[in-house]
Structure 1
Amino acid sequence: MKTEFIDVNDTRKNLVVEIPSTVVDAEIDKVARDYSRAARVPGFRPGKVPAKVVRQRFRDQILHDVAHGLIPRAVDEALRERGVEPVDTPDIKDVVVEEGQPLKFTATFETVPAIEPGDYASLTLRRQEVRVEDAAVEEALERLRERAARFEPVVDRGIERGDSVQLDLTRTAIAPVETAESLIVIPGEPVPRPAPREQTDTHSNVTVDIGAPANPPGFDEELSGMT
């Protein structure tokens, strides 16, 4: 196989390839045999179509398959031998493939440019001074203390703000009945309001922080002092 690398510019390269006719003809024979086994031609039984008929009837398809089989392998081999690594998929053009003739094509691709580091050894850097305020240190330490804190039972006093309390929580919501069947309208009389109904859900072993902003109004006051 003949190959030639042409530098279009610092990064763009052309690879001109010529694959010998012997390799091309051997690939044509292989592809033609595959077509002969699968071809359906009137007047011939499946798998019994003569090779000459297959080559004539499916000439363009066979040459297309031959090119698609040989070109990628040739490009990979040429790039490995030269130690070239494209940064994109090579663009294949100018393909010439005929029985009894060499397969010729050109592959165009981009490569990584050569980079000169320059005189980096003379560069100087100034370390930026970082000042940490005492308040930021205390805030970080407090977060660490909270994450590492252990819960200790309290037995000598009631619940206070800042305590974490474990309890069973039942939540009750009042919702009106909005079904049409629940209303009886009498002409001339006020339309009755639907009777309210309760919706409850219960949660066990819930941990609540007394004084947390998310607590509903009056929640902390109701629990404060309890034991």
Structure 2
Amino acid sequence: MNVSVVDLSNTQKQVHVEIPAAKVQKELDTRYRDLAKQARIKGFRPGKVPRNILKSYYGKNVEHEVSSQFIQETFNDALREADLHPLVEADVNETRFEDNGTFVYTAVVDVAPPFEVEGYKGLEITKSPVSVSDDQIQTELERIREQNAQLRTVDTDRPIQEGDAVLTDFVPTVDGSVFEKGKTSDFMVEVGKKALHPEFDGHLIGHRVGETLSFDLDYPEDATMPEIKGKRVHFEVQIRELKEKELPELNDELAQTVKFDTLEALKENIRERLVKQQEERVSMAARQQIIDQLVGKVQLDLSDKVIDREVDRLIDLLLNQFESQGLKIDGSKFSTPEIRGEYRPQAIKNISQRLILVQIARQEGIELTEEEVDEIYRQIALYARMDVEKVKAEFADSPLVEQSKESKVQDKVLKLLEESAVSKEVSPTGSDPTTDQE
């Protein structure tokens, strides 16, 4: 395989790949030999059809299949040989079988422009102090009490109040007809959670077991059930049973239900967990400050194709979020020039961030260790429920593995930049700052 590169611009290269005639001829011979065994052409016995006849009937299909196979098998190797790193999938814009028997194809590859990053160490950032209050720990303890609460039937004839659990039957009516899909029996309503509708629970408060009550609720246009979008729904609700929560005592026995020997051990675990969460949030905020400064320092020349692909990705993410929430959105509404234009600045920022971190890794010689690469394979194998060695053999060059590796390298770069940054600690009110070298 012969590979050559033509510079079209700082951000686009044309790769010219030539497959030797001997290899091409061998593959064509194999294809026509297999085809001869299967082809049924009038006037010829099976397996006896001359190659020139086969070529007249099937030549274009055979050449298309062979060219597609060669491109698939050789393009990644050609990129490695040319030391090119495409930012998006390349466009193969020319393929041909030469008279001398070789197969030639060319592809336009969008790449990052050459650049260096300077002044990336010692950046000034602000950090909030990490501290956990007793109130925060108490809130977590109360959440654990809630999770371990028992429901006890209320025997006295008292009205429903906030925090009660109420067993109900209800029948919704929409446009004068019973909404069968919403008709429900033995439904437990935890008053105050507002799980059914923001106003549903409030209508129960003050009523008693055995009562039947009626009320109307207005549903928004983005309601999950299409039958009630933008509709007023009438409810007939029968209150069948009233239960109240019985919270466990805050003691060692409660701690043991969540796998801790003592209440003090549980509190210490909560404190450590909250501190870690805060440290992660502070670190994320610090890294974002670093990224913003770097993106502001380095202006990159990016091709429209690269930017457009990132815009596509951002819009796809938004549509997937809508879909995960049960909302059906017409994706074509997000393909207008106006909306795509709104996403363009974020797309440029995302691409610039990635390229800048990759370049800093190159300048600093930051690479993954064998142990870190093995951990990536283990994580993918665990997620895919596959053997680790099979993942290594079959997916070593896959986009998933490459993206995981790049993400890990970027994390190492950001850790270096965060540790070298000059941080100014600020209180929640922004007063009394102190400066520390991280």
Q: What band does the TM-score fall into relative to the shorter chain?
A: 0.5 to 0.7
5+ long unaligned stretches in structure 2: 171-183, 193-200, 212-438
Cα-to-partner distance string for 1:153-186 (whole Å, 9 max, x where unaligned) = 8xxx996987987898899xxxxxxxxxxxxxxx
Cα–Cα, structure 1 residues 119 and 44, in superposed 2: closer, same or farther, change >3 Å? same
The residue correspondences of 1:100-111 to structure 2 (distance < 5 A) are 100-111=100-111
CA separation in 1, counterparts of 2:41 and 2:208? 88
Cα–Cα, structure 1 residues 207 and 36, in superposed 2: closer, same or farther, change >3 Å? closer
Cα–Cα, structure 1 residues 98 and 33, in superposed 2: closer, same or farther, change >3 Å? farther
Question: 1:123: which partner in 2?
Answer: 123
> How high is the TM-score relative to the length of structure 1?
0.58
The residue correspondences of 1:10-21 to structure 2 (distance < 5 A) are 10-21=10-21
Given that residues 90 and 109 in structure 1 are in contact (C-alpha distance below 8 angstroms), is that contact kept between their aligned partners in structure 2?
yes
CA separation in 2, counterparts of 1:114 and 1:88? 17
Cα–Cα, structure 1 residues 23 and 216, in superposed 2: closer, same or farther, change >3 Å? same
The residue correspondences of 1:113-192 to structure 2 (distance < 5 A) are 113-114=113-114, 116-127=116-127, 140=139, 144=143, 147=146
Cα-to-partner distance string for 1:20-56 (whole Å, 9 max, x where unaligned) = 2222221221121122122221101233312332234
5+ long unaligned stretches in structure 1: 131-135, 172-200, 223-227
Percent identity of paired positions between Structure 1 and Structure 2: 24
Q: CA deviation at 1:217?
A: 4.1
Residue 27 of structure 1 aligns to a residue whose secondary structure is helix
**Worse overlay, 46-55 or 16-25:** 46-55
CA separation in 1, counterparts of 2:186 and 2:50? 82
Cα–Cα, structure 1 residues 99 and 44, in superposed 2: closer, same or farther, change >3 Å? farther
Cα–Cα, structure 1 residues 33 and 139, in superposed 2: closer, same or farther, change >3 Å? same
The residue correspondences of 1:57-72 to structure 2 (distance < 5 A) are 57-72=57-72
CA separation in 2, counterparts of 1:69 and 1:3? 17
Given that residues 25 and 99 in structure 1 are in contact (C-alpha distance below 8 angstroms), is that contact kept between their aligned partners in structure 2?
no
Query: Does 2:75 correspond to 1:75?
Result: yes
Q: CA deviation at 1:86?
A: 1.8
CA separation in 2, counterparts of 1:96 and 1:152? 76
Larger radius of gyration: 1
Cα–Cα, structure 1 residues 215 and 30, in superposed 2: closer, same or farther, change >3 Å? same
Cα–Cα, structure 1 residues 107 and 29, in superposed 2: closer, same or farther, change >3 Å? same
Cα–Cα, structure 1 residues 46 and 122, in superposed 2: closer, same or farther, change >3 Å? same
CA separation in 1, counterparts of 2:163 and 2:126? 49
Normalized per residue, the structure richer in strand is 1
Question: 1:40: which partner in 2?
Answer: 40
Q: Which one of 204, 207, 215 corresponds to residue 204 of structure 2?
A: 215
Residue 88 of structure 1 aligns to a residue whose secondary structure is coil
The letter of the residue matching 1:215 is L
CA separation in 1, counterparts of 2:203 and 2:146? 20
CA separation in 2, counterparts of 1:166 and 1:117? 60
Cα–Cα, structure 1 residues 100 and 57, in superposed 2: closer, same or farther, change >3 Å? farther
Cα-to-partner distance string for 1:111-162 (whole Å, 9 max, x where unaligned) = 24455333132421234589xxxxx979957964862675698xxx996987
**Worse overlay, 144-153 or 89-98:** 144-153
Cα-to-partner distance string for 1:33-92 (whole Å, 9 max, x where unaligned) = 122122221101233312332234433333233222222222222123344332222211
Question: 1:176: which partner in 2?
Answer: none
> How high is the TM-score relative to the length of structure 2?
0.33
The letter of the residue matching 1:219 is R
CA separation in 1, counterparts of 2:142 and 2:14? 62
CA separation in 2, counterparts of 1:143 and 1:114? 56
CA separation in 1, counterparts of 2:17 and 2:86? 16
CA separation in 2, counterparts of 1:170 and 1:57? 72
The residue correspondences of 1:193-212 to structure 2 (distance < 5 A) are none
Residue 94 of structure 1 aligns to a residue whose secondary structure is strand
Given that residues 17 and 106 in structure 1 are in contact (C-alpha distance below 8 angstroms), is that contact kept between their aligned partners in structure 2?
yes
Given that residues 28 and 66 in structure 1 are in contact (C-alpha distance below 8 angstroms), is that contact kept between their aligned partners in structure 2?
yes
Given that residues 160 and 208 in structure 2 are in contact (C-alpha distance below 8 angstroms), is that contact kept between their aligned partners in structure 1?
no
CA separation in 2, counterparts of 1:204 and 1:8? 67
Q: Which of structure 1's runs of 4+ aligned residues deviate more than 6 A?
A: 136-139, 157-171, 204-209
Residue 41 of structure 2 aligns to a residue whose secondary structure is coil
Residue 40 of structure 1 aligns to a residue whose secondary structure is coil
Normalized per residue, the structure richer in helix is 2
Given that residues 159 and 208 in structure 2 are in contact (C-alpha distance below 8 angstroms), is that contact kept between their aligned partners in structure 1?
no
